[in-house]
């Protein structure tokens, strides 16, 4: 009887991870589908030029505020602490903590946003984009003020996301970005013809409101109780603040590096800075689907296992997550490098051939960055789950300093490609540091199985790349329709080559992926009890 309970609990946990992963990945797929439509509409209207340079620069400041105070920094500290309250505290303490964090985040973002809005012109002229012309600086300041309106809205939504994730509720947070993208599409289609580039920023504000409102029904379902308190004397609030500080520094360094890259890129010719951010946005599609989505689902389980001290199962889950991410992201990187340029050429409109070449140049570099950034999603969360936010801070600091130093050297020789290469070096450095420290901290997360998964994914990705390259060389690419059909055929054939290669190599990761959508009545089988089990997680290590 005692032997069966851990197995049942582990099977149920695996099932929960699989179902939640499927939900999040499907929702993120829909979100990225809308994001493609959004980018097509925006790209055709603005391309990579004067106005979009100002827009991409303007959104960096609000993004910095949100990421620091309501995004990754908050969630990394808030979810483990709230998970402890859920498992071992009365409900009123849980909701008092959540309310206090909600109130503090919104008030701080309102105050900081108001200050930045008042000082928008000098901030843009002296710090953010000093090499822009005065007219372009004024446009950037005006857009910055509008976008700042969404920061407090996102702040409130960020706390709600943390509450829902801690309660293992992923559906509404996963579909919320759909409403944000819908707001941007509305802005691009309806408001831009009337308001110009300002309409795009007002669409972002409307999308942020939708992002918040769609999640409120889940709070009612959880019977959440709002408490009008700042909770400065609550131990949980102090613990969240203490855990956030190193994460604030770590994310602050990453976001400030992006702001620095905007400042450095403001001296490039018109369109180059836009092309850099277009390439980044395209890379975020596979990274979000095959990195962030998986990591978001695994994170509460990591925190739960760390809180209970079940290190063997934590190692098994972390190893499985890393192997799946490698299996998905290496072929995605090959596709980004080979198919990204032809896909960008389909945008048309203001996205002329020069813009296509500029974006394609950075996509090749970002293809190298993609697997490293996806692995970082898991590596960092393994520290946050153990309520260690100092180590990722130090790793981020070292890597971002390296990236900034590299950018200074590379931009003069490689232009916007130098910025992409500098960020690639920074992210891979941070990932490798954290993975090495994970191996020392919790044991054999990096083992022979991970090496074999990497080798299989590399061989499969080589088959993917060869198939895509051969077909792109031979298929017609004269008009938009011919290009779209040829890219689609090449992508499907390359994906088939990858899957066949993994099948021939008897990849356990390939056999595990379909289990994400199996019937809920069937426990997710990520591993057997035999030491030589071919499945993704060897349960003999976790029992």
Q: Judge contact between 61 and 128, C-beta under 8 A.
A: yes
**Residue 539: predicted pLDDT:** 31
Q: Judge contact between 104 and 230, C-beta under 8 A.
A: yes
**Residue 289: predicted pLDDT:** 79
Q: For residues 293 and 225, what is the distance between their CA atoms, to the nearest angstrom?
A: 28
Cα-based distances in Å from 146 to 113, 198, 260: 10, 8, 22
**Residue 463: predicted pLDDT:** 93
The answer for residues whose C-beta is within 8 angstroms of residue 380's C-beta and 6 or more apart is 76, 392, 434
Structure tokens at 89: 């505290």
**Residue 252: predicted pLDDT:** 67
Q: For residues 293 and 429, what is the distance between their CA atoms, to the nearest angstrom?
A: 22
3-state SS class at 133: coil
**Residue 530: predicted pLDDT:** 28
**Residue 301: predicted pLDDT:** 78
How many Å separate Cα 4 from the centre of its chain? 37
Which residue bears the tokens 């901030």?
123
3-state SS class at 31: helix
Which parts of the chain register pLDDT below 70?
A: 1-32, 47-50, 61, 63-76, 87-88, 247-248, 250-255, 347-352, 511-543
Q: Judge contact between 343 and 487, C-beta under 8 A.
A: yes
How many Å separate Cα 231 from the centre of its chain? 30
The answer for residues whose C-beta is within 8 angstroms of residue 340's C-beta and 6 or more apart is 279, 282, 359, 360, 363, 364, 367
Q: Judge contact between 536 and 324, C-beta under 8 A.
A: yes
Q: For residues 33 and 97, what is the distance between their CA atoms, to the nearest angstrom?
A: 36
Structure tokens at 186: 């509305």
Q: For residues 533 and 55, what is the distance between their CA atoms, to the nearest angstrom?
A: 52
Q: For residues 147 and 62, what is the distance between their CA atoms, to the nearest angstrom?
A: 7
**Residue 28: predicted pLDDT:** 63
Structure tokens at 132: 């822009």
Q: For residues 203 and 206, what is the distance between their CA atoms, to the nearest angstrom?
A: 5
Q: For residues 131 and 264, what is the distance between their CA atoms, to the nearest angstrom?
A: 8
The pTM is what?
A: 0.64
Structure tokens at 124: 């843009």
The answer for residues whose C-beta is within 8 angstroms of residue 419's C-beta and 6 or more apart is 261, 264, 265, 276, 362, 407, 410, 411
């Amino acid at each position: 009887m005692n032997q069966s309970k851990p197995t049942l609990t582990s099977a149920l946990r695996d099932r929960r991870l699989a179902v939640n992963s499927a939900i999040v990945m499907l929702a993120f797929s829909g979100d990225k589908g809308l994001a493609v439509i959004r980018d097509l509409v925006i790209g055709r209207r603005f391309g990579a030029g004067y106005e979009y340079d100002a827009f991409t620069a303007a959104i960096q400041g609000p993004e910095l505020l949100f990421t620091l105070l309501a995004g990754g920094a908050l969630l990394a500290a808030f979810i483990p602490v709230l998970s402890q309250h859920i498992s071992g505290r009365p409900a009123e303490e849980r909701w008092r903590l959540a309310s206090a964090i909600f109130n503090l985040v919104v008030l701080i973002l309102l105050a900081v946003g108001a200050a930045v809005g008042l000082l928008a012109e000098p901030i843009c002229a002296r710090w953010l984009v000093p090499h822009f012309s005065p007219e372009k600086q004024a446009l950037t300041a005006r857009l910055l003020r509008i976008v700042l309106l969404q920061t407090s809205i996102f702040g409130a939504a960020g706390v709600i996301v943390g509450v829902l994730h801690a309660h293992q509720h992923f559906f509404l947070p996963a579909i919320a970005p759909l409403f944000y993208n819908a707001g941007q599409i509305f802005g691009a289609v309806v408001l831009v013809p009337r308001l110009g580039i300002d309409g795009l920023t007002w669409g972002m504000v409307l999308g942020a409101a939708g992002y918040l409102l769609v999640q409120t029904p889940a709070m009612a379902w959880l019977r959440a109780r709002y408490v009008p308190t700042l909770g400065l004397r609550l131990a949980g609030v102090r613990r969240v603040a203490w855990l956030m500080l190193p994460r604030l520094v770590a994310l602050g360094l990453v976001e400030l590096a992006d702001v620095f890259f905007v400042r450095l890129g403001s001296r490039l010719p018109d369109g180059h800075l836009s092309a850099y951010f277009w390439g980044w946005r395209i890379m975020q599609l596979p990274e979000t689907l095959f990195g962030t989505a998986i990591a978001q689902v695994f994170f509460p389980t990591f925190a739960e296992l760390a809180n209970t001290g079940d290190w063997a199962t934590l190692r098994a889950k972390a190893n499985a997550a890393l192997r799946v991410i490698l299996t998905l992201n290496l072929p995605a990187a090959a596709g980004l490098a080979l198919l990204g340029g032809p896909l960008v050429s389909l945008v048309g409109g203001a996205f002329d051939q020069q813009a296509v070449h500029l974006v394609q140049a950075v996509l090749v570099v970002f293809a190298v960055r993609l697997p490293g950034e996806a692995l970082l999603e898991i590596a960092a969360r393994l520290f946050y789950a153990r309520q260690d936010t100092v180590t990722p801070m130090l790793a981020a600091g070292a890597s971002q300093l390296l990236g900034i130093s590299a950018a200074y050297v590379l931009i003069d020789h490689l232009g916007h490609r130098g910025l992409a290469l500098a960020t690639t070096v920074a992210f891979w450095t941070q990932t490798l540091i954290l993975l090495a420290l994970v191996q020392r901290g919790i044991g054999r997360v990096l083992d022979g199985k991970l090496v074999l998964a990497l080798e299989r994914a590399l061989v499969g990705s080589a088959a993917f790349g060869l198939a895509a390259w051969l077909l792109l060389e031979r298929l017609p690419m004269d008009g938009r329709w011919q290009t779209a059909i040829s890219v689609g055929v090449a992508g499907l054939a390359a994906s088939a080559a990858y899957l066949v290669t993994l099948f021939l190599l008897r990849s356990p990761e390939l056999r595990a992926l379909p289990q994400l959508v199996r019937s809920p009545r069937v426990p997710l089988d990520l591993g057997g009890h035999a030491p030589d089990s071919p499945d993704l997680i060897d349960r003999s290590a976790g029992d």
